[in-house]
A and B are shown apart, each in its own frame.
Chain A
């Protein structure tokens, strides 16, 4: 890869890349350089939401974020939803809620959904059905019809201390 070096802070760790081209997106770097393949490339146009990650706490499209523009930002991917130091195999409550609520079918949209849900859960509690529907409206799911996903996120918001 041609370009300039950059260091990205992903899931709490500083991760240097030797050379990133100006047009290279954060999604590409996450997947191809860091092996963080949880974020998916569904459309590369910012529509489907499968690539959603948080930058400085807000969900954004990693396919529309240029990697060089992400230096000094806090990036969290689905792989970082479980806090560092948690026991191996631990799940964040929202991950558990989706898994147990039959809210995961093919799973391709799931990482993006979890990131959007995670951000919603940090902002308000408990969440209403309509708040979750609005909050997840940038994450397309073609399998579930959304109902069980919305239910799972609402239940995760109610279960929080």
Chain B
């Protein structure tokens, strides 16, 4: 076997991914690669209507196709509803359809071709209803009601809702209305961001199999086996004990695979047919029926004193929710929580409205609303700097949150590496050379900057660390590695905590039967929250190892230490030591029982201190642990066409501690390019309620020629007290400042502030040709 270089394996080493070998050999199994004996293949029949009552189905023709095993419509599904915040979504359309592409019926057949052919033969009798395609249309006085039952839906937070408004949230500190009078300069503007597709290269899919007792095993492309279990059981009204959820390799998520997609459909088909059923969406279905980043419309106003001291900020946002709530209330609440940015602004008010429309549902996407508000707020920091004639980086440095400062709302911030991020990005980018850079003929080049922060502490997690008989280790956390590398990082932590090489630690694949609960691979939380549990559980194993050793050596536990290579010995006495093999053997066969360390916890620091802030309709009462970042981008504009390209970028991110620096860089680089797509080329274009570009031909993400090669990842480590080895999250923050940094560079280059993404050649050219409004 060709060895990979795994000489350094502990915390701080860029250990190659544990699954790198199976991925480079093509052996890694994703959901589409799975086959079970007797497996059927499913296909959906999607709604062609945006909003229509279902009067009836005619499935006779589909049923008659040879090879078809089962056709199910809404009538064949229970009345349960699922939803992360508002239980508003059935497993399949029932009674009416609410967006084009919504599954209306589903077919299982002997092969996929037959299933798709049969699905196309299903006839549905629709009665068209008036359509609300945009939030503006949906809040109009005569707007059709998208969820007649909204008031009665179960909600997991004190939702302020009514009509087509799914949720309203407000958060404020200080006295904003009075504070404007203290400002010497005020900037105000309307910002707009489009829907962005996650575009995981793997489309979503699921495979369900039912056993003789009627218990179902479900594999799917997912970010949390536990959320899959909860959603399916809610929608199908099954006891959770009747459903076991597992995961194959996941071809990336970015938020797309956190909440349900087709899992309830295959479970119901498996229950009805008694056979394994697999459903993989094609790319167009994946575009139209899964979810995407929320379009935001943001009104933002920021004021400062002549010396650059920020005084007040008011931000209001309207989010297109799409047809179902999904993660949307969370996105709204979180985006408002981020709207002050990592600054001291004493007077701040953020409010927002989430509006149901007859478009596809919008939901979680890397950054969770933060990139959208940061685009607006960091644009305005630059506008203020321009108005005051200050350097934008100096303005950020001057107003940055200081150690001990609280987050907007009053949440505690224990570590803050923002100053170091700013200083390091500034030095690396050569900011002192000026923002306008030399450019080839016909081009303009400029630097732009943005700063930001993002959380990593949220919700519940656990870990189980077991010492096997031979002294090697199994780690079980239930956290799904969606490709970002958490299996490797958690293994490194466990190995370091027990002082064993990483190859002595196996990591269990998530399993709702056997793994401790993990809310999910989302919110940049796995390294921090799950890592904490891993370190705590490993610590309990270490304690037990020492207790055995103390009994054998007849010494105090305090006199013992773990030694590299899986040994425990008496401090200061090198030859007094035992291997984990000896300790574990004793535990298994003679004394004490097998060594198992477990830990569970839930993040419980309040987001809001009622003495400081007023909050209404906030969906996350407990959230925190902040990473910080500063990014500088060098952008080149083609003067002929207005096309903007990023030529170089410096991204300094405070991650507390880089457990695996290579993986941290991978998150920064990947986050940058995904953010660059959001800033420059990616836009889901809607024709009324309908997505006009649901294909990779028509929706364009950056290729290797569009992405700059010179992405400089600068790792800053402001250790988080309580974080595992000091670590905090990195999954999302690398994307958050990208649109703002690019927009600020573009504004520098063309002299006009653009407030609408993406920054297409058309918008940039228009900006370049008009009289600039940028001071």
Q: Which of B266-274, B303-311, B697-705 contacts A (4 or more CB under 8 A)?
A: B697-705
Q: In the bound complex, do residue A45 and residue B201 qualify as a contact, i.e. CB atoms below 8 Å apart? A: no
Min CB–CB distance B224 → chain A (angstroms): 16
Q: In the bound complex, do residue B252 and residue A106 qualify as a contact, i.e. CB atoms below 8 Å apart? A: yes
Q: In the bound complex, do residue A142 and residue B701 qualify as a contact, i.e. CB atoms below 8 Å apart? A: yes
The listed residue (B1, B19, B484, B701) touching A87 by CB distance below 8 A is B1
Closest residue of B by beta carbon distance from A107: B23
Min CB–CB distance A105 → chain B (angstroms): 4
Assembled-state Cα–Cα distance A106/B283 (Å): 18
Which B residues are CB-close (under 8 A) to A102? 14, 16-17, 662-663, 665-666
- Chain B CB within 8 A of A98 CB: yes
Give residues of chain B (686-701) contacting chain A, Cβ–Cβ below 8 Å: 695-697, 701
Interface residues on B, range: 35 or more
Q: In the bound complex, do residue B705 and residue A108 qualify as a contact, i.e. CB atoms below 8 Å apart? A: no
- Chain A CB within 8 A of B26 CB: yes
The listed residue (B2, B21, B201) touching A48 by CB distance below 8 A is B201
- Chain A CB within 8 A of B669 CB: yes
Min CB–CB distance B636 → chain A (angstroms): 16
Q: In the bound complex, do residue B282 and residue A140 qualify as a contact, i.e. CB atoms below 8 Å apart? A: no
- Chain A CB within 8 A of B496 CB: no
Q: In the bound complex, do residue A146 and residue B1 qualify as a contact, i.e. CB atoms below 8 Å apart? A: no
Give residues of chain B (668-700) contacting chain A, Cβ–Cβ below 8 Å: 668-674, 695-697
Greatest chain A CB density within 10 A among B19, B24, B672 is at: B24
Closest residue of B by beta carbon distance from A149: B704
- Chain B CB within 8 A of A90 CB: yes
- Chain B CB within 8 A of A26 CB: no
- Chain B CB within 8 A of A44 CB: yes
Min CB–CB distance A4 → chain B (angstroms): 17
Q: In the bound complex, do residue B705 and residue A91 qualify as a contact, i.e. CB atoms below 8 Å apart? A: no
Q: In the bound complex, do residue B485 and residue A105 qualify as a contact, i.e. CB atoms below 8 Å apart? A: yes
Closest residue of B by beta carbon distance from A39: B26
Give residues of chain A (28-74) contacting chain B, Cβ–Cβ below 8 Å: 31, 36-45, 47-48, 50
Closest residue of A by beta carbon distance from B483: A106
Q: In the bound complex, do residue A147 and residue B709 qualify as a contact, i.e. CB atoms below 8 Å apart? A: yes
Q: In the bound complex, do residue A45 and residue B484 qualify as a contact, i.e. CB atoms below 8 Å apart? A: no
Assembled-state Cα–Cα distance A45/B199 (Å): 14
Contact bitstring A99-121, B, C-beta under 8 A = 1, else 0: 11110111111110010000000
Which A residues are CB-close (under 8 A) to B226? none
Assembled-state Cα–Cα distance A90/B25 (Å): 10
Q: In the bound complex, do residue A50 and residue B201 qualify as a contact, i.e. CB atoms below 8 Å apart? A: yes
Contact bitstring B18-32, A, C-beta under 8 A = 1, else 0: 011101111111101
Which A residues are CB-close (under 8 A) to B201? 40, 42, 48, 50, 106, 108-109, 140-142
- Chain A CB within 8 A of B771 CB: no
Known contacts A42-B201, A88-B1, A102-B666: does B27 contact A146 (CB below 8 Å)? no
Which A residues are CB-close (under 8 A) to B19? 107
Greatest chain B CB density within 10 A among A87, A146, A147 is at: A147
Give residues of chain B (175-204) contacting chain A, Cβ–Cβ below 8 Å: 198-203
- Chain A CB within 8 A of B546 CB: no
Q: In the bound complex, do residue B199 and residue A142 qualify as a contact, i.e. CB atoms below 8 Å apart? A: yes
Assembled-state Cα–Cα distance A82/B2 (Å): 11
Which B residues are CB-close (under 8 A) to A108? 30, 200-202, 251-252, 483
Which A residues are CB-close (under 8 A) to B140? none
Q: In the bound complex, do residue B283 and residue A40 qualify as a contact, i.e. CB atoms below 8 Å apart? A: no
- Chain B CB within 8 A of A143 CB: yes
- Chain A CB within 8 A of B250 CB: yes
Give residues of chain A (103-161) contacting chain B, Cβ–Cβ below 8 Å: 104-111, 114, 129, 132-134, 136-150
Contact bitstring B242-254, A, C-beta under 8 A = 1, else 0: 0000000111101
Give residues of chain B (17-52) contacting chain A, Cβ–Cβ below 8 Å: 17, 19-21, 23-30, 32-33
Q: In the bound complex, do residue B2 and residue A91 qualify as a contact, i.e. CB atoms below 8 Å apart? A: yes
Min CB–CB distance A99 → chain B (angstroms): 4
Which B residues are CB-close (under 8 A) to A104? 17, 20, 23-24
Assembled-state Cα–Cα distance A87/B2 (Å): 9
Which B residues are CB-close (under 8 A) to A106? 200-202, 249-252, 482-484
Assembled-state Cα–Cα distance A44/B202 (Å): 11
Q: In the bound complex, do residue B697 and residue A45 qualify as a contact, i.e. CB atoms below 8 Å apart? A: yes
Contact bitstring B97-126, A, C-beta under 8 A = 1, else 0: 000000000000001000000000000000
- Chain A CB within 8 A of B575 CB: no
Assembled-state Cα–Cα distance A148/B21 (Å): 16
Known contacts A129-B709, A144-B670, A147-B669: does B21 contact A107 (CB below 8 Å)? no
Q: In the bound complex, do residue B26 and residue A140 qualify as a contact, i.e. CB atoms below 8 Å apart? A: no
Closest residue of A by beta carbon distance from B33: A37
Q: In the bound complex, do residue B4 and residue A47 qualify as a contact, i.e. CB atoms below 8 Å apart? A: no
Which B residues are CB-close (under 8 A) to A96? 2, 4, 24
Which A residues are CB-close (under 8 A) to B2? 89-91, 96
Q: In the bound complex, do residue A40 and residue B32 qualify as a contact, i.e. CB atoms below 8 Å apart? A: yes
Known contacts A40-B202, A42-B202, A114-B24: does B707 contact A107 (CB below 8 Å)? no
Q: In the bound complex, do residue A98 and residue B24 qualify as a contact, i.e. CB atoms below 8 Å apart? A: yes
Which A residues are CB-close (under 8 A) to B33? 31, 37
- Chain A CB within 8 A of B711 CB: yes
Assembled-state Cα–Cα distance A107/B21 (Å): 10
Which B residues are CB-close (under 8 A) to A87? 1
Q: In the bound complex, do residue A107 and residue B16 qualify as a contact, i.e. CB atoms below 8 Å apart? A: no
Known contacts A111-B26, A142-B200: does B669 contact A43 (CB below 8 Å)? no
Assembled-state Cα–Cα distance A97/B668 (Å): 20
Q: In the bound complex, do residue A95 and residue B25 qualify as a contact, i.e. CB atoms below 8 Å apart? A: yes
Assembled-state Cα–Cα distance A62/B188 (Å): 52
Known contacts A45-B697, A99-B20, A143-B670: does B283 contact A78 (CB below 8 Å)? no
Min CB–CB distance A64 → chain B (angstroms): 12
Assembled-state Cα–Cα distance A91/B1 (Å): 8
Which A residues are CB-close (under 8 A) to B199? 140, 142
- Chain B CB within 8 A of A79 CB: yes
Q: In the bound complex, do residue A146 and residue B24 qualify as a contact, i.e. CB atoms below 8 Å apart? A: no
Closest residue of B by beta carbon distance from A91: B2
Known contacts A88-B1, A107-B483: does B697 contact A47 (CB below 8 Å)? yes
Q: In the bound complex, do residue B203 and residue A136 qualify as a contact, i.e. CB atoms below 8 Å apart? A: no
Which B residues are CB-close (under 8 A) to A81? 25
- Chain A CB within 8 A of B142 CB: no
Min CB–CB distance B118 → chain A (angstroms): 16
Q: In the bound complex, do residue B1 and residue A110 qualify as a contact, i.e. CB atoms below 8 Å apart? A: no
Known contacts A99-B16, A102-B662, A109-B201: does B24 contact A143 (CB below 8 Å)? no
Which A residues are CB-close (under 8 A) to B25? 38, 78-79, 81-82, 91, 95
Which B residues are CB-close (under 8 A) to A109? 201
Known contacts A41-B32, A42-B283, A90-B1: does B254 contact A142 (CB below 8 Å)? yes
Known contacts A42-B283, A137-B704: does B26 contact A37 (CB below 8 Å)? yes
Give residues of chain B (79-109) contacting chain A, Cβ–Cβ below 8 Å: none
Which B residues are CB-close (under 8 A) to A145? 666, 668-674, 707, 711
Assembled-state Cα–Cα distance A38/B663 (Å): 23
Give residues of chain B (249-282) contacting chain A, Cβ–Cβ below 8 Å: 249-252, 254, 280, 282
Min CB–CB distance B110 → chain A (angstroms): 11
Known contacts A48-B201, A142-B199, A142-B701: does B29 contact A110 (CB below 8 Å)? no
Min CB–CB distance A83 → chain B (angstroms): 12
Known contacts A89-B2, A102-B14, A106-B200: does B704 contact A133 (CB below 8 Å)? yes
Which A residues are CB-close (under 8 A) to B484? 105-106, 143
- Chain A CB within 8 A of B551 CB: no
Given contacts A89-B1, A110-B23, 7 further A-B contacts (CB under 8 A): A37-B29, A40-B251, A99-B24, A102-B662, A111-B26, A144-B670, A145-B672
26 cross-chain CB contacts under 8 A? A31-B32, A37-B33, A40-B202, A43-B696, A78-B25, A89-B1, A91-B21, A91-B25, A99-B16, A102-B14, A102-B662, A105-B670, A106-B482, A106-B484, A114-B24, A129-B709, A136-B704, A140-B703, A142-B198, A142-B199, A142-B200, A142-B254, A142-B674, A144-B666, A145-B671, A145-B707
What are the 9 closest A-B residue pairs judged by CB atoms, nearest first?
A38-B26, A106-B483, A89-B1, A108-B251, A107-B23, A145-B669, A102-B662, A78-B26, A99-B20
